[in-house]
Amino acid sequence: MTKTKILLDENDIPKKWYNIQADLKTPLDPPLNPKTKKPIGPNDLKAIFPMELIKQEVSTERYISIPEEIREIYRIWRPTPLYRAKNLEKALKTPAKIYYKWEGVSPPGSHKPNSAVAQAYFNMKAGITRVVTETGAGQWGSALAFASSKFNLKCRVYMVKCSYEQKPYRRILMENWGAKVFSSPTNLTKSGKEILKKDPNTPGSLGISISEAVEDAATHEDTNYCLGSVLNHVVLHQTVIGLELKKQFELLDEYPDIICGCVGGGSNFAGTSFPFIRDKIIGKKPDLKIVSVEPLVCPTLTKGEYRYDFGDSVGLTPLLKMYTLGHGFVPPAIHAGGLRYHGGSPLLCKLTKERYMEALAYYQNEVFEAATLFAKTEGFVVAPEAAHAVKAAIDFARICKNENKKKIIVFGNSGHGHFDLSAYDAYNNKQMQNYAYPEKLITNNLEKLPLIN
């Protein structure tokens, strides 16, 4: 009988993270000092990160050991299950096999604590007593609040204003773990005050919230900054997803033909796909199709430019080489708040530029249509971010039906949508609007990017 759920034992939780920097054909372009335009060094990051995370950021070792204290907390929810979406396959009448790696079983309900626990641990070991961060939809803020409670750290979260208003239960969840949560932009930071002065009614953005959190960390000696996506050490921690997934496919004696996942900053999909991309880089699986999925209202990979840009809105962070829509980009307040980011992981962007990966973008109504079909067939109500991956998997399964091909499709199902029911309510009552960000505004934003020789 075909298995519906493929489970691993606690002993199968990876003992090491996989670092794709060891297998790149050419090195990653370094982050630059925004003033000198020269590569930054470890000392430039010491004001906001502990040294162990800085070492991980620049490491080219293929595998980096996971401390046992982190694995012990991982055991609360890891290993996560791999599901065969048999009912969805039946509804689509496709010959394809559809699998999904379900990260919604963690206490915060998403993949985010894979890195939050690691970051909180290394900050605690460095003697830090307080951490600050930003959050879009609230998944990362929830994860860091949870992780901070495990290591007795104080935690402050700058939550993007539109998500703060849309998702009060995420705020309550963070506060329940002891975090202090503020609607961003705020009057607590110089960055926030400047943004509010220009636009008092701004819906906020991840870039703005990052500016506030970085400023907070840089101006308090007892405080470090934690980032939920984008940076190398964050995607490194997320590779526990892909390493487990590889082992689960080994148990099935199968290997995927198509891997897809949602991308905002890129941590979830990088963690899912990077252990497989290694096989593509070394020529073991040259035909493997790896697809990032994003919203048309924030089309970073599909319409952005591959250039150096700030990771935040104000310009406090180093310059990163990535696909970007411009750091001044503020998208409309769609429900997939975790995907409203102007840039992306430099590693994921580099691999996209080099054609190891590709990208798709969708309107939010078609994404929720796919998520609703998934809920009716598979039972899980997924986050709006994860729903983008559901949509792509369904589209690929329909292509397989039209071409009568028995391909294996797997998608990263990054979290549950229990706190996103207002979005489903809007969709069910036909109150959800489709947005596509105007090309002219993207062009205007890109014209303001720093020029790098």
Question: Taking all residues of the chain, what is their mean pLDDT, rounded to a whole number?
Answer: 93
Could you name the CATH architecture of 5-9+68-109+235-446? 3-Layer(aba) Sandwich (3.40)
Q: What is the mean pLDDT of residues 193-212?
A: 89
Q: What is the mean pLDDT of residues 306-321?
A: 86
Q: Which of 136-145, 176-185, 334-343 has the lowest mean pLDDT?
A: 334-343
What are the residue ranges spanned by the domains of the chain? 5-9+68-109+235-446
Q: Which tens digits make up the pLDDT trace of 372-427? A: 999 999 999 999 999 999 999 999 999 999 999 999 999 999 999 999 898 999 99
In this prediction, residue 1 has a pLDDT band, given cuts at 50, 70 and 90, of low
pLDDT for 336 beyond 70: no
Q: Name residues whose C-beta falls within 8 Å of residue 310's C-beta, 6 or more positions apart in sequence.
A: 34, 207, 316, 317, 319, 320, 327, 450
Q: What percent of the chain has pLDDT over 90?
A: 78
| b/e map 226-250, b = 16+ CB within 10 Å | bbbbbbbbbbbbbbbbbbbbbbbbe
3-state secondary structure of 394: helix
Q: What is the mean pLDDT of residues 9-31?
A: 97
DSSP track, 134-202: EESSSHHHHHHHHHHHHTT-EEEEEEEHHHHHH-HHHHHHHHHTT-EEEEES-SSSHHHHHHHHH-TT-
Return the C-alpha torsion angle 412, 416, 419, 424, nearest 10.
Answer: 80
Report the predicted TM-score, pTM, of the whole model to 2 decimal places.
0.94
